[in-house]
Structure 1
Amino acid sequence: MPQTVQAVRTALSPDWPCQVKAPGTHDWERTAARWLRDLLPARYAGYSTLTRHNVLLARHAQLQVQHEIRAVRVALHTSRQELPALGVAEGVIENSIRMYAVELEQLNRLARGIRLVSEALARPSAARP
């Protein structure tokens, strides 16, 4: 492995998505675009504006995940108040709270990865060796 590629890989943040090649490596933008597309609902695959412009794709993925984070936070904070009225058992409520907490951690990690990929895509000349 060339030293420049190894140096880039060792310098990556732990939040860099493992599905995306390191900036500056062969075909890394393609892996970034594929990863970002996979984060969006399938219906967005038909919008060529997003699929042809990786920076726009990254921006939309950021927005999508931010909205998901907000939705999970609301679900987490309202579970104990709203779920009993819906007839949900206490054990199920506690399990759902744990599920939402885990999901919130995963979404926050995903948001950090999207931010890193977005920053790398926004400065392609700096990301190439």
Structure 2
Amino acid sequence: MTMPLTTTRLGPDWPCQVKAPGSYDWERSAAKWLRELVPARYASYPVFVRHPVLLARHAQIQVEHEIRVVRTALRTARSDLPRAGLHEGVIEHTIKLYAAEITQLQHIARSIRAVTRALTESGR
């Protein structure tokens, strides 16, 4: 099913791997991108293959959990990592890595929401 390009605006959060809504095969490109965000076993479940909106929902939940995990790792790094015998430079590098990962995951979460909205609109 195609939809007019005017119903969904592509913004900065639209993933470059997903074709514009309404273009040929855009839903397939959305499903392919979403499958890359969830564990492989989930991506192959028939219900997710048939219903990309369900796949998008699961991807959103998955990324939200990843954000929580990285926030916990960031919050506890200064107290836990020295006990593991890691050098201060390694700890600082790890903290920067966690902060960058949170930013990236938040962007992915926004991208999933944008794709979900477009998939929902195309199913109406």
8 Å contact from structure 2 (residues 73, 98) kept in 1: yes
- 2:73 corresponds to: 75
How far does the alpha carbon of each residue in 1:102-129 deviate from its partner, in whole angstroms, 9 at most, with x for none?
A: 1111000000000000011111157xxx
**Whole-Å Cα distance in 1 between the matches of residues 117 and 87 of structure 2?**
44
1:28-67 map, 5 Å? 28-67=26-65
Give, in whole Å, the separation in 1 of the partners of 2:24 and 2:94: 42
CA distance in 2, matches of 1:106, 1:79: 19
CA contact 1:8–1:22 (8 Å) conserved in 2: no
List runs of 5+ in structure 1 lacking aligned partners: none
Offset of residue 46 of structure 1:
2.9
Alpha-carbon distance in structure 1 between the residues aligned to 2:95 and 2:85: 16
Amino acid at match of 2:29: T
TM-score (norm 1): 0.87
* Cα RMSD after superposing both structures: 1.7
Structure 2 distance, partners of 1:82, 1:119, is 40
- Deviation of 1:50 (Å): 1.2
Task: Name the structure where helix makes up a greater proportion of residues.
Answer: 1
Runs ≥4 in structure 1, deviation > 3 angstroms?
none
User: 1 CA distance for matches of 2:110 and 2:47?
Assistant: 24
Alpha-carbon distance in structure 1 between the residues aligned to 2:29 and 2:65: 24
Structure 1 residue 41 displacement after superposition: 1.2
Would the aligned equivalents of 2:38 and 2:62 in 1 still touch at CA under 8 Å? yes
Q: Unpaired runs of 5+ in structure 2?
A: none
- Map 1:114-129 to 2 at 5 A: 114-124=112-122
d(CA) in 2 for partners of 1:104, 1:91: 20
Q: Could you tell me the percent identity over the aligned residues?
A: 59
